[in-house]
Amino acid sequence: MPSDLQMKTMNGVHRVMLKLTGGRFGWNLLGMPVLELTTTGRKSGQPRTVMLTSPLQEGPAFVVVASRGGDDNAPAWFLNIEASGDVQVAMNGGPPQPWKARVASAEERARMWPVLSKEHTNYAGYQKKTDREIPLVLLTPA
Q: What is the pLDDT of residues 38-55, one digit of tens each?
A: 999 999 999 999 999 999
Question: Which residues, listed in sequence order, are joined to residue 38 by a DSSP beta bridge?
Answer: 49, 88
pTM for this entry: 0.84
pLDDT at site 32 = 85
Q: Which CATH architecture has domain 4-141?
A: Roll (2.30)
Residue pLDDT, tens place only, 63-121: 999 998 888 999 999 999 999 999 999 988 889 999 999 999 999 999 999 999 999 99
pLDDT at site 8 = 61
List the single range of 17-31, 32-46, 109-123 with lowest mean pLDDT: 17-31
Domain locations in the chain as residue ranges: 4-141
User: Are 79 and 42 a contacting pair, CB within 8 Å?
Assistant: yes
pLDDT at site 11 = 57
pLDDT at site 47 = 96
Q: How many CB atoms lie within 10 A of CB 120?
A: 18
